[in-house]
Chains A and B, each alone.
Chain A
Amino acid sequence: MDLYENQRSTSKIKRDASVNDRIPDGLFLACPYCGTQMYNKQLGDYRVCAKCGYGFRLQARERVALLTDNFEEMDADIEMTTPDFPGYAEKLARAKSQTDLGESVLTGVANIEGEQVALGVMDSYFMMGSLGSMTGEKITRLFEYATAHQLPVVLFTASGGARMQEGINSLMQMAKVSAAVAAHQEAGLLYLVVLTDPTTGGVTASFAMQGDVTLAEPHALVGFAGARVIESTIHEKLPKDFQRVETLLENGFVDKIVPRAELGQIIAKIVKLHHRTEI
């Protein structure tokens, strides 16, 4: 039987069942756009896919830290005080603790490569960047401040659309912000939009599409209706990249697609070229 004993001897290397627990989460990531697997550190400070240039979704505060030399937040204390829809208060509380924000947008006065701008950055980690009445309030105040102080507005959009829990009030924000955009526009001031992943629904159908200049990050998803809604309405499959900004550029709805690392420079350049000078 010795002959067989040998064969039955087990390998000295044992499977370590706890190994998965000891590898930190998020060490390896797949690019949501091209699917390439990569080591977290490969993304670099700008959190950009090394292969396709897709910019991973940033929290508003991360974005501001990357983009600005100086940032003075405004209206930090504005937040929804009457979340009376069932479950809404809990969702808000979770979003606030995850993002260190009171609402789905961060606003303030920023210095970008030497240019002073009124800056708004929406945060898709805060209830999917949905348009709550206090989101609308902060953006409206940003425009009002910019109009009063003769500043350009730079707004980074990221939103899944309306804030369902707020119902019709969410819809009214589209009009409220638009009214402030109109006044800013009439003052002859620059409104620069940067479309980031994802920008959809009510935000696309209002202030995301009202800029004088519209920039976008590579491969960002931008659209009005959701792809699934469209497919179930027209009973056909949508082509790949249908709602990516490269398609929007082709269709004439975007001025320029800018890699994340170059955004600061390009924004500053555009703002500078809008300084009023006597010719």
Chain B
Amino acid sequence: MAVNIGLNLFRHELTPAEVVKKSREDRFFAREIIDGIFTDFIEFHGDRQSGDDMSVIGGIAALNGKPVTIIAIDKGIDINDKLSKRNGSPEPWGYRKAQRLMQQANKFHRPIVTFINTPGAFPGKTAEAQGQGEAIAKSILESMKLTVPMIAIIYGEGGSGGALALATSDQVWMFQNATYSILSPEGFASILWKDSKRSDEAAGVMGLTPKDLLNKNVIEYIIPESRNHPRVFNLIRKRLDDEFTRLNELTPDELIAQRRARFRAF
């Protein structure tokens, strides 16, 4: 039996505030994840209406040889990349690109995987004028009608409606040091307690860690992280393949009924 010395230096479980901090670090990048899990990724651009949002990376690839559609929110690698992606805050045309790729996947019976890392949808002037609310609302509504399996993976921040727009799926998984919440702990503290400096305390009560969310059935699976990224990617590849195989056995009606029932439970 281990002797409790009050502080376990080796298997220290992170506090919610520490998970928040970690989830915002540059641990994984969308392109690295995509290239690590899939082969033959080809990126597709644009929403066919108003532009191409760099913060949403989408396209097709092969998962163990089988075609899939990939949609990923990326915060960017270097400073210029981060600026052009607004640190992973999609514009409405980013969500509309996602919708286009979802429809495309539906047409060609390809499963969809989304990777999410966003502080939230971008709160900008153009975003608002171009219907940020409508873009998210439609992403949610359209994904409720998809007849192909969809799995969402939150690998960093899962910020509010901006994350939910790509997470109304058959399953939601989270990286071990990711978060998923109604808004940032800073925003939460400032709205409820009028003091954004109490964000660590807010993180504690918000229930935003993967463990909390697994207990509430908001997510199905926690992906253990490792510095050995290929190991993480191998695990995800295998699990995605298994789950898509299983979900593909359902009829379209069963799949839709199951997805809607998943959210009906809340």
Contacts and interface: CB of A to CB of B under 8 A. Distances in A.
A238 B260 CA distance: 38
A170 B137 contact: no
A21 interface: no
Contacts of A247: 129
B260 A210 contact: no
A174 B129 contact: no
B121 interface: yes
A223 interface: yes
B260 A225 contact: no
Contact of A178 (B134, B140, B182, B208): B140
B55 interface: no
Interface stretch (B67-75, B160-168, B222-230): B160-168
B144 A167 contact: no
B130 interface: yes
B218 A210 contact: no
Interface in A91-123: none
A164 B137 contact: no
Residue picked from A179, A207, A209, A223, most chain B C-beta under 10 Å: A179
A233 B208 contact: no
Specify the main secondary structure of chain A where it touches its partner.
helix
A209 B144 contact: no
B117 interface: no
A209 B134 contact: yes
A136 B266 CA distance: 9
B51 interface: no
A176 B140 CA distance: 10
A10 interface: no
A251 B130 contact: yes
A229 B122 CA distance: 10
Interface string B52-89: 00000000000000000000000000000000000000
B145 A168 contact: no
A181 B160 contact: no
A200 B92 CA distance: 16
Nearest to A176: B263
Interface string A142-182: 00000000000000000000101111111111111011111
Interface string B196-221: 00000000011110000100101000
Contact of A243 (B128, B192, B213): B128
B33 interface: no
Interface in A168-227: 168-176, 178-183, 185-186, 201-202, 204-210, 222-226
A180 B206 CA distance: 27
Size category of the A interface is: 35 or more
A168 B134 contact: no
A206 B180 contact: no
Given A171-B164, A175-B168, A224 B140 contact: no
Contacts of A175: 140, 144, 164, 168, 263, 266
For the residues of B in contact with A, the DSSP-based class is: helix
A1 interface: no
B114 to A, nearest CB: 14
Interface string B245-266: 0000000000000011001101
B244 to A, nearest CB: 21
A168 B131 contact: no
B264 A224 contact: no
Given A168-B207, A206-B140, A229-B123, A253 B264 contact: no
- Among A162, A205, A238, which residue has the most Cβ atoms of chain B within 10 A? A205
Nearest to A183: B260
A210 B125 contact: no
Contact of B188 (A164, A176, A205, A229): A164
A17 interface: no
Contacts of B208: 167-168
Given A181-B144, A186-B145, 19 more contacts: A133-B266, A136-B266, A140-B264, A162-B182, A164-B192, A167-B206, A179-B259, A179-B260, A182-B260, A208-B133, A210-B138, A210-B141, A224-B128, A224-B161, A229-B123, A230-B123, A233-B124, A238-B125, A242-B125
16 contacts: A172-B263, A172-B266, A176-B263, A178-B168, A182-B145, A186-B145, A205-B165, A206-B140, A209-B131, A223-B133, A224-B161, A225-B123, A225-B132, A229-B123, A242-B125, A251-B131
Interface of A: 85, 133, 136, 140, 162, 164-176, 178-183, 185-186, 201-202, 204-210, 222-226, 229-230, 233-234, 236, 238, 242-243, 247, 251-253
